[in-house]
Each structure stands twice: as structure tokens, then as C-alpha cells.
A and B are shown apart, each in its own frame.
Chain A
Amino acid sequence: MTAYIIRRLWQMIPTMLGVVLLIFFLFNWVGGDPAQVLAGKISNPEQIENIRKQLGVDQPFWRQLIIFCQQIVTGDFGRSWSTNEEVSRIFATRIGPTLTIMFPLLLLETTLGIVFALGVAYVRGSLTDRAIMIACTFAMSISFLVYIILGQWLFGFLLGWFPVQGWSESYWKNLVVYAPLPVFLALLVSVAPTLRLYRSFFLDEINQDYVRTARAKGLSETTVMFKHVMRNAMIPILTNVAIALPSLMIGSFLLEKFFSIPGLGREVITAVERSDFPVIKAITVYLAVFTMFLNLLVDVLYKWVDPRVEFK
């Protein structure tokens, strides 16, 4: 176990190096001289000269790469080019709102997905099953954008059940007043694909021999479904949730943009709009690192969920 984790950590190093190189190549090479990027955005030549000096633009590329690596290790990406806010502060203040939206969303999505998928898988092949599957296909064909535009208009503007957008200082107020509408709309969108996917996981298990055996020895349907089928289907479901986690960190950036939620996702979009490279660079690098550790965590979790899994 320990040997496995150490080996995985060792293997992460080249990948991490690759991410750093890719980001460096994109922003320092393709992105070009900040003086050019920022022309017209920052009027103060002194400030631009500072940024150039900080990035070492006039120095050879290997030197710039070292500066970039230093920034990553120390976590000091300097200041945002557009707001002059420290990048580390941006991280610290934006992550809260993102999680306030995304954590309830992930929880509800997974729970609802499992419950509905189990139900649909149980009545597989029936009219209900087919009707729900057709409805899912149709629901998935409509753009996420349309759900938000219509939902915000209907529930926020026309019916006035929720505030159209906004955010406050108080955590509970955010959770109770501002979060429900975006979470609800995101649920509407994500339930269809989740349901379809989980249904296929359950169907894989339902046709297995052990299910027949369990029924043959007279176990109740509830025990068969919730104990036998559910536990075995948990492995692919867990993988799926883990894959969704990194994108959870930037939140659904569309949700944050539409509802003016000051989270990481909206920060990324504003940064792209303003060519605010330090912010994008920092978020990309750290999220990649986070994703790598998460993958490792999931692989270790497998062992816990399914003792048959062996580390190679």
C-alpha cells in the first residue's frame, strides 16, 4: 500500500513537469510579451515595466521557466494584471462561494441519480423506463445555456421565487437565498446524463448471477437491490463522482457567470476576458495538481470499497 502510493507520487513528477511546460509554453511563448498583451489595458508604463521585470521577459527562456517554477512552489504568482489583487488572495476568497454552490449540487446530484437510476433499472424495459430514457435524451439535447436563461427568467424574474442573482457576506444567507436557484437549474441539467449513466451501471449488476442467487435464496427485493446490487455498482459511481470533482473546483463557470457568484469559475472567465494571465496560470496549475492527487485518492478508495482490487 505505502509502496504503491510512493510509486504513484513518483510517477506524478513528469506529468506535473509537463503541465508546467504546457502552461509556460502557452502563456510565455504563444501569449507573448505582456507589454503587448497589456497595451491599452494598463495605461501606466511603470506598472508594465514592473510586470516585465517580474516575469523576466528580457531574459532567456530557461530563466523565465525558473521564475515560473519558483512562483508555483512558493504560491506567489504576484498580482492580477487587471485588478492588482494578489493571486493567492483571489484563490482564498473565491473558493468559498464556488464550494457553497457545488457541494450541495454534487451531493444532491449523486443521491438523486442513484435513487432514480436504481428505480428505473428495477423496472427496466417497461414503458416507464423507456419514457424516462427518451425524456433524458431529449433533455440532454438542449444546451445548458438555455436551461439557465429560461430558469433565471421564469423563477427569478417572472415568478420572483428566488433572487435573479446576487451574493452576500453571510454564509447561511448565501446557502438559503442565493444558492437554491443555481443549484436547482444545474440539477435539472445534470440529472439526465447522470441517470442514464448510473442506470447502465445498475443494469450491468442486475443481470449478474449473484443477483439471481440472492433472489433464489429468498432475500427480499429491497435487500437484493440496496445491499447486493447497490454496493457493487458503487465502484463505477465513485469513479464518476471523482472525475466530476476537479470541475467542481472551478464550479460550473456558466452558473457563476449568470448568477454573479464571486467564485473561481467566474474569476477564470473574467481573467480570460481581460487577458489576466497570472490568474489563469495559477488556477490551471493548481487545479491540475489537485486533479492528480484526487486520482490517487480515488484509486486508494477503490481498495476500501472493493477489497478484491489489487494494487499493481
Chain B
Amino acid sequence: MSAVIESTAEETRHDSAGPWRAAFRRLRNDRLGMVCVVIVVAYMLIVLASALGLVARDWNREVGVSYANPGFLPHLENLEAESSRNLTAQSKVPPVDLSDIDPLAPYYKELDERTARIKVTEIQRSDTLPFGGDKWGKDIIKKTVKGAEISIFVGFAAALLAAVLGTVFGACAGYFGGRINDLFEWIYNVFTSIPYILLILAFAAVFGKGIVTVIMILGITGWTGIYRLLRAEYLKHREREYVRAADAIGASDMRRMFVQILPNVSHVILVQLSQHVVQFIKAEVILSFLGFGVPVELVSWGTMLAEAQNELVIGKWWQLAAATASMAVLVTAFSLFTDALRDALDPKLKALL
């Protein structure tokens, strides 16, 4: 406790060391927290690169044979690839001669000429890929990167939406009180009285599939926790002297809510935002797995897991491993980063938790 008092005293002496800088300093001293920051930043860079099309642009190309083996296990038996190869070989058997009954027979020559003009390049499918291939011979690593892009983007966007809704609602309810508070409390009670999973599924049933839809569903159903905290913060802050002072010099309600109070509660929002990102990434994965999430032409960690379920039975474990590992590392790092962020932004809380 004494350390906290000292550091705040120090901050008041030097105007330059604001609370954010002090928080950053505390975060930098947290070694585990910094490791997690590095991991999270690395994921963000990959996602950014993938979104800009620098990596994994051609994730959808079928570069390998069906269920191509991982590069480090080139000699695993691959019955699926062989059976499809046999099928291709069979189709090369010359077709039965039908020319005496075929009405197209007079055009055979012309058709042959036309066919010759079209260049057909046989795709060279490789037997192994760095981390194996899926059913269609797509590269698992590229697929995982693309899946990460979508899962993480959905998580962030939904958390942002939930944070905005929760903050605005909480600010209004806490700041104005009275009727407005009653209204938002009513909405809050309605949303929390339906079990969360059921609420999400009910929204999913009506709105259908799509990335934007998933973001909307998670955001609209997930704002309640942030609202609760922000309302309590605004209730506390609206009576503080600095807000009264702002009132005295004639600041409007909006200005007091979002210019005066908001910066003072922003650490709460930031920590909540970070917590919700993890929660929503997990939720997106489950929704996509069930087929209520991203559309079929896209890939997310959830759709990868859905495919992996059937692959495991025939011994193709790499897609499962890739999706699980990449998600587990991100979720662990992000959760620990959230804890570190909370400790750094609100050192008083650490004593309580």
C-alpha cells in the first residue's frame, strides 16, 4: 500500500508522468506481462499482414494432395490421396466409342480443335505440406493464419461494440439516474434474465450467418457486464468535485460525461475490453463450429475444428493441432496480459483480488 502512495506522490510532483505513463512503467516491470504483450503483438502483426494480403492470401488454393502429410512426417500412409489418385487414373481410360449414335459426332473434329486451343495446366499437387493439408489439400498453416485473422477480428470488433454499448448505457444510467437509470436497469434485467448462450442462439436463429452478423450478435448480447461496472463508476464520479467544478463553469451534460468523467474511468473500460476480446474469440469459435458463425467460403478456428472432428477418426490430427495450439497460445497470452494490464492500471485493485 505504501508503494502506491509513494508513486502517486511522485506523479503529482512531475506533471509529465501522467497516470498512463505510470501504468506503462508498471506494466513494463511485469516480466510475464511483457512476454504476453510480445506474443499478443506478434499475433496482431500476423493478423494485420493477413488482412493486407501479405501472407496467406492464397490459403484457398489446393496446393497439396488430399490430406497431404506434414513435411516432418513424409512417409505416413495416405489412403485418401491414393484413392483420389486412382480415380483420376481411371478417368484417363479412353471413353467408349459412341460416334455412330452420338448426334455430336459430326462436330468431333471442330470440338477437338477448340479443346486444343485452351491451355490446361495440370496443378502439381505436392505429397507433403509444411504442416500437412486438409481434405482439399489446402495448406494448414495458411489456413490457420487466415482463420486467426477472422477469429481475432470478430473478437475485437464484437468487444469494441459491446464496450461502446456498455459504456454509453452505463454512463447514461449512472450519470442521469432517475427515469433514465430505471430504463437501462430494466433493459439490463431483461438481457441478463435470459441465459447467455440461449440469448446468443436466439439472435443467431433470427439473423442468420455472416461475419458482421456474428459481431452484432456478440456485441448486442455481451454489453451487460461492462454496463454494470461503468454505471457504478459513473454513480461514484458524478458527485466528485471535479465534475461539480465542471458543472459550475457551465459544462454541458455530454461534456461532463464524456470529456470529464470518461478519461477517469477509461482504465475500467480498457480492462473489460481486453477481457471481452478473449471471451468473444472463444464464443466465435463455438458459433462457427456449430455453423452459426462465419459463412462457408471463409475460414475461422471454429470451422477448422468442425472439420478436424471428422479428420481425427481417420488419423489426420494436424488441422486440430494447428487450430488448438494457435488458439490456446493466444488465449493464454491475452488472459495473462489482461491481468497484467489490470494490475498496472489499477494497483489498488491488486490488494483486493
At the interface with chain A, which of B52-60, B69-77, B85-93, B284-292?
A: B284-292
Contact: B305 with A138, CB < 8 Å? no
The answer to the question of A179 belonging to the interface, with a C-beta cut-off of 8 Å to chain B, is: no
Question: Which chain A residue has the least Cβ–Cβ distance from B192?
Answer: A291
Q: Report if A15-B193 is in contact (Cβ < 8 Å); known contacts: A26-B203, A143-B327, A283-B198.
A: yes
Within 8 A of A (CB), among B180-210: 186-187, 189-191, 193-199, 201-207
Contact: A31 with B206, CB < 8 Å? yes
Q: Report if A250-B186 is in contact (Cβ < 8 Å); known contacts: A142-B324, A143-B324, A272-B204.
A: no
Size of chain B's interface in residues, with CB distance under 8 A? 43
State the Cβ distance, A168 to closest chain B Cβ, in Å.
Answer: 23
A269 to B332 alpha-carbon distance, docked (Å): 29
A18 to B199 alpha-carbon distance, docked (Å): 14
The answer to the question of B308 belonging to the interface, with a C-beta cut-off of 8 Å to chain A, is: yes
Contact: A138 with B205, CB < 8 Å? no
Contact: B194 with A291, CB < 8 Å? yes
Contact: A142 with B190, CB < 8 Å? no
Residues in B with CB closer than 8 Å to A153 are: 312-313
At the interface with chain B, which of A122-130, A144-152, A218-226?
A: A144-152
Question: Which chain A residue has the least Cβ–Cβ distance from B301?
Answer: A143
Most chain A CB within a 10 A radius of its CB, from B202, B204, B324:
B202
Contact: B193 with A292, CB < 8 Å? yes
Contact: A18 with B189, CB < 8 Å? yes
Q: Report if A19-B194 is in contact (Cβ < 8 Å); known contacts: A137-B332, A272-B292.
A: yes
A157 to B327 alpha-carbon distance, docked (Å): 25
Q: Residue A287 contacts which of B198, B290, B331 (CB distance < 8 angstroms)?
A: B198
A129 to B323 alpha-carbon distance, docked (Å): 30
The answer to the question of B328 belonging to the interface, with a C-beta cut-off of 8 Å to chain A, is: yes
Interface residues on A, range: 35 or more
A22 to B198 alpha-carbon distance, docked (Å): 13
Contact: A149 with B308, CB < 8 Å? yes
Residues in B with CB closer than 8 Å to A23 are: 202
Q: Residue B195 contacts which of A143, A247, A271, A273 (CB distance < 8 angstroms)?
A: A247
Contact: B198 with A141, CB < 8 Å? no
A142 to B325 alpha-carbon distance, docked (Å): 8
Q: Report if A146-B320 is in contact (Cβ < 8 Å); known contacts: A26-B202, A275-B205.
A: yes
Residues in B with CB closer than 8 Å to A142 are: 324, 327-328
- What residues of chain A have their CB less than 8 Å away from a CB belonging to chain B? 14-15, 18-19, 21-23, 26-27, 30-31, 137-138, 140-146, 149-150, 153, 157, 200, 246-247, 249-250, 253-254, 257, 268-269, 271-273, 275, 277, 280, 283-284, 287-288, 291-292
A-B contact pairs, 21 of them (CB 8 A): A15-B189, A15-B193, A18-B186, A140-B331, A140-B335, A141-B332, A142-B327, A143-B285, A144-B286, A149-B308, A149-B312, A150-B312, A272-B204, A273-B291, A277-B205, A280-B202, A284-B199, A287-B195, A291-B194, A291-B195, A292-B193
